[in-house]
Amino acid sequence: MVIEKLKKIIQESHNIVFFGGAGCSCESGIPDFRSSNGLYSKKLNRNFTPEQAVSHTFFMKYPEEFYDFYKKHLIYPNAKPNDCHIALAKLEEMGKLKAVVTQNIDGLHQAAGSKKVYELHGSVLRNYCMKCHAFYDADYVMEADDVPKCEKCGGTVKPDVVLYEEGLDDQVISGAIHAIAQADTLIIGGTSLVVYPAAGLIDYFKGKQLILINKSTTSADQRANLVINEDIAWVMKEVMTQLEQDNLNKK
């Protein structure tokens, strides 16, 4: 029944924006890094929470420990797009979906074929030298023995990922806000809406239909026209199957 409702909303919409979080990538084998036990450093004889381990301060003070945690918990080179990513790319191809706004850093939306993606927290696929800004891919970082260094100038290579204590990119934020403000339907999926300032962007939505797809309840449930407490990958696959069947029947 809820899939039928979602299908009808999508069919009647002309400008959909999808706002997603960690739940979108779970089916691809990428857990939320906060679900780890953090980091125990023998050298420092201290325990660090996941949030501390991926903070700007930690990166600057303890780059070796940072990269130890980062490589284990934030980079998944073998991850492939799942049914959620694929469905969103198809909706964009159909002209329904105008943008994806994601809190994820895995690049799986683009891998699935999505063209308009606003990555609020950056991407593990991009890395830059802090001195000369030379670009390095994720493989270069993964293959480095400890802290990746620039081949050109010897500077430290830093992931293009927004760490705790760092601000979001102004251009990305303004693009995401513009997309959300223009949307007639906003689908929020795979996020509990607890990470700010990213979660606050949904307040710019002034359209007709607000859809929430998440396994657990969120702070925006009461504002939503439709709440689906199911796995986002399953929901998106089901609704796309029905949409494609309807399109076939019309031909």
Of 214, 193, 188, 237, which is closest to residue 85 (Cα–Cα)?
Answer: 237
Could you give the residue ranges of the DSSP H alpha helices within 157-215? 170-182
Structure tokens at 134: 């030379």
Active site residue 109: no
The token pair that represents 1 in the structure block? 């029944």
> 168 with 198: CB under 8 angstroms?
yes
Helices (H) and strands (E) in the chain — how many of each? 9, 11
Amino acid found at 240: M
Active-site residue identified among 73, 85, 109, 121: 121
CB 9 within 8 A of CB 211: yes
Alpha-carbon gap, residue 25 to 68, rounded angstroms: 22
Catalytic residue ranges: 121
